[in-house]
Chains A and B, each alone.
Chain A
Amino acid sequence: MAHAATHDHHDHHGAPKGFFQRWVMSTNHKDIGTLYLIFSLTMFFIGGAFAMVIRAELFKPGMQLVQPYFFNEMTTMHALVMIFGAIMPSFVGLANWMIPLMVGAPDMALPRMNNLSFWIMPFAFLLLLSTLFMPGGGPAGGWTMYPPLSLQGESVAYVIFAVHLMGISSIMGAINIIATILNMRAPGMDLLKMPVFVWSWLITAFLLIAVMPVLAGAVTMLLTDKYFGTNFFNAAGGGDPVLFQHIFWFFGHPEVYIMILPAFGIISEIIPTFARKPIFGYRAMVFAIASIAFLSFIVWAHHMFAVGLPMGAEIFFMYATMLIAVPTGVKVFNWVSTMWGGSMTFETPMLFSIAFVILFTIGGFSGLMLALAPADFQYHDTYFVVAHFHYVLVTGAAFSIMAAAYYWLPKWSGNMYSETWGKIHFWSSVISVNVLFFPQHFLGLAGMPRRIPDYNVAFANFNMISSIGGFWFGASQLIFLGVVIHCVFFSKKKAADRSWEGAKGLEWTVPSPAPFHTFDVPPVIHDDELAHGNTEH
Chain B
Amino acid sequence: MTSGGIGRSVSAWAAGAFALFGGAAWANPEPNQLNMTKGVAEWSPYAMHMVALWVCVVIGIVVFGAMFIAMFRFRKSRGAVAEKWSHSTKLEVVWTVIPVIILIFLAHLATGGLTSFADTTNSEMTIKVTGYQWKWRYDYVDYKGKGVDKVGFMSKLEETSNRTRQLKSNLDPAKIQVDGYATYLLDVDKPLVVPTDTKIRFVIVGGDVIHSWWVPALGWKMDAIPGIANAAWTKIKEPGVYRGQCAELCGQDHGFMPIVVKAVPKAEFEQWLAAQEDEAKVQKAAQTAQTAPAAPAPAPQG
Q: Taking beta carbons and an 8 Å cutoff, which residues of A are in contact with B?
A: 61-69, 72, 140-142, 146, 148-149, 152, 235-236, 239-242, 275-282, 284, 306-308, 311, 314-315, 318-319, 322-323, 325-326, 329-330, 332-334, 336-346, 354, 357-358, 361-362, 365-366, 368-369, 372-375, 377-378, 380-382, 442, 445-462, 502, 535, 537
Q: A454-B165, A457-B31 are in contact. Are A318 and B99 (CB under 8 A)?
A: no
C-alpha spacing A361/B107, complex, angstroms = 20
The answer on a CB contact under 8 Å between B63 and A343 is no
Q: List 14 A-B contacts (CB under 8 A).
A: A62-B169, A63-B166, A65-B167, A142-B249, A149-B209, A284-B92, A333-B91, A344-B76, A361-B64, A382-B247, A447-B33, A458-B28, A459-B29, A462-B32
Interchain nearest-CB distance for B276 vs A (Å): 28
Which of B5-13, B182-190, B264-272, B292-300 binds A?
B182-190
B173 touches A457 (CB 8 A): yes
Q: Is B244 an interface residue (CB 8 A)?
A: yes
**Closest Cβ–Cβ distance, residue B25 to chain A (whole Å):** 14
Task: Return the 3 tightest CB-CB contacts between A and B, nearest first.
Answer: A235-B227, A374-B113, A452-B255
Known contacts A377-B220, A535-B86; 9 further A-B pairs (Cβ under 8 A): A149-B250, A236-B227, A276-B76, A307-B225, A311-B118, A378-B216, A381-B247, A446-B34, A446-B36
Query: Pick the contact of A326 from B80, B81, B99, B204 — CB < 8 Å?
Result: B99
**Minimal Cβ-Cβ distance residue in B for A460:** B31
Choose one: A152, A277, A281; the contact of B209 (CB below 8 Å).
A152
> What does the 1/0 interface line of B186-219 toward A look like (CB < 8 Å)?
1000000000000000001010111010101001
Asked if B71 contacts A339 (CB within 8 A), the reply is yes
Stretch at the interface among B49-57, B121-129, B141-149, B280-288: B49-57
Interface residue count on the B side (C-beta < 8 Å): 103
Contact of A308 among B74, B82, B85, B223 (CB under 8 A): B223
Contact of B245 among A452, A457, A460 (CB under 8 A): A452
In the bound complex, residues from chain A placing their C-beta under 8 Å from that of B239 are none
Is residue B275 within 8 Å, beta carbon to beta carbon, of the partner chain?
no
> Would B117 and A381 count as touching, CB distance under 8 A?
no
CB distance A146 to B252 under 8 Å? no
Interchain CB contact (< 8 A) of B86 among A62, A280, A308, A447:
A280
B56 touches A149 (CB 8 A): no
Which of B53, B117, B168, B214 is in CB contact (< 8 Å) with A64? B168
Query: Which residues of the other chain, B, contact A365 by a CB distance below 8 angstroms?
Result: 56, 59-60
CB distance from A461 to the nearest CB of B (A): 6
Q: Does B228 count as interface, using CB distance less than 8 angstroms?
A: yes
Q: How far is the CA of A449 from the CA of B216 in the complex (A)?
A: 10
Contacts of A452 in B (CB 8 A): 245, 254-255
Interface residues, chain B, CB within 8 Å of chain A? Answer: 28-37, 45, 48-49, 52-53, 55-56, 59-60, 63-64, 66-67, 70-71, 74-77, 80-89, 91-92, 95-96, 99-100, 103, 106-107, 109-111, 113-115, 117-118, 164-169, 171-174, 182-186, 204, 206, 208-210, 212, 214, 216, 219-223, 225-228, 230-231, 244-256
Collect the chain A residues with CB atoms within 8 Å of residue B166's CB.
63
State the Cβ distance, B108 to closest chain A Cβ, in Å. Answer: 11
- Whether the pair A344, B100 counts as a contact (CB closer than 8 A) is no
| Chain B residues whose C-beta falls within 8 Å of the C-beta of A278 in the assembled complex | 84, 86
Instruction: Give A457 to B75 CA distance when docked, in angstroms.
Output: 47
Q: A61-B184, A357-B67 in contact; A375/B222 too (CB < 8 A)?
A: no
A457 touches B174 (CB 8 A): yes
**Does A341 contact B74, Cβ atoms closer than 8 Å?**
yes
Q: B210 to A377, Cβ gap below 8 A?
A: no
B99 (CB) vs chain A CBs: closest residue: A329
**Contact of B33 with A458 in the complex, beta carbons under 8 Å:** yes
Cβ–Cβ contact A372 & B74, under 8 A: no
Closest chain A residue, CB of each to CB of B115: A311
A230 to chain B, nearest CB (A): 15
Beta-carbon nearest neighbor of A304 in chain B: B223
- Residue numbers in A under 8 Å from B111 (CB-CB): 315, 318
A456 lies within 8 A of B29 (CB): yes
Q: Are A63 and B167 in contact (CB under 8 A)?
A: yes
In the docked arrangement, what's the CA distance between A277 and B85, Å? 8
Q: What is the minimal beta-carbon distance from A518 to any residue of chain B, in angstroms?
A: 28
Q: Is the interface of A mostly helix, strand, loop or mixed?
A: helix
What is the minimal beta-carbon distance from A166 to any residue of chain B, in angstroms?
22
Q: What's the Cα separation between A159 and B208 when bound, in Å?
A: 22
Find the B residue at minimum CB distance from A369. B52
Q: Which residues does chain A contribute within 8 Å of B74, judged by CB atoms?
A: 275, 339-344
Cα distance A428–B44 in the bound complex, in angstroms? 40
Residue contact B221 to A381, C-beta cutoff 8 Å: yes
Central interface residue in B32, B66, B113, B172, by most chain A CB within 10 Å: B32
Question: Would you give the shortest CB distance from A146 to chain B, in whole angstroms?
Answer: 6
CA distance A76 to B185 in the complex (A): 23
Residues of chain B within 8 A (CB-CB) of A325 are: 99, 103
Contact of B29 among A236, A314, A448, A502 (CB under 8 A): A448
Q: Contact at B230–A446, with CB atoms within 8 Å?
A: no
Bound-state CA distance A354–B75 (Å) is 14
Contact B214 A449 (CB under 8 A): yes
Contact, CB under 8 Å: A68 / B252: yes
Q: Are A241 and B71 in contact (CB under 8 A)?
A: no
- Would you call B182 and A457 a contact (CB within 8 A)? yes
- A458, B30: Cβ atoms under 8 Å? yes
Contacts of A332 in B (CB 8 A): 63
| Neighbouring A residues of B92 by C-beta, 8 Å | 281, 284, 330, 333-334
A64–B223 Cα distance when bound, in Å, is 30
Q: Enumerate chain B residues within 8 angstroms of A333, measured Cβ to Cβ.
A: 63, 91-92, 95
Q: Is A322 in contact with B107, judged by CB distance below 8 angstroms?
A: yes
B226: nearest chain-A partner, CB-CB: A235
**With A and B bound together, what is the CA distance between A338 and B84 in angstroms?**
10
Q: Which residues of A contact B165 (CB under 8 A)?
A: 62-63, 454
B30, B95, B248: the one contacting A329 at CB < 8 Å is B95
Q: Enumerate chain A residues within 8 angstroms of B109, measured Cβ to Cβ.
A: 372
Q: Which residues of A contact B184 (CB under 8 A)?
A: 61, 456-457
CB-CB under 8 A from A281, the residues of chain B are 86-88, 92
Distance between Cα atoms of A366 and B168 in the complex (Å): 36
User: Which residues of chain A are within 8 angstroms of B174 by Cβ–Cβ distance?
Assistant: 61, 457
Considering residues A344, A354, A365, which has the most beta carbons from chain B within 10 angstroms of its beta carbon?
Answer: A344
**Residues of chain B with a CB closer than 8 A to A62's CB:** 164-165, 169, 171-173
Compute how far the CA of A358 lies from the CA of B67 in the bound complex, rounded to whole angstroms: 9
Closest Cβ of chain B to A344, distance in Å, is: 5
- Pick the contact of A330 from B96, B106, B244 — CB < 8 Å? B96
Residues in B with CB closer than 8 Å to A362 are 60
Q: How far is the CB of B129 from chain A (nearest CB, A)?
A: 12
Chain A CB count within 10 A is highest, among B81, B206, B220, for B220
Q: Which of A279, A332, A368, A458 has the most CB of B within 10 A?
A: A458
Q: Is the CB of B222 within 8 A of A306?
A: yes
Q: When the two chains form their complex, are residues A447 and B250 in contact, meaning their CB atoms are under 8 A apart?
A: no
Q: How far apart sit A461 and B33, CA to CA, in the bound complex (Å)?
A: 10
Give the docked Cα–Cα distance between A372 and B206 (Å).
26
- Min CB gap A244→B, angstroms: 10
Give the docked Cα–Cα distance between A69 and B133 (Å).
13
Q: Once the chains bind, are A336 and B223 in contact (CB under 8 Å)? A: no
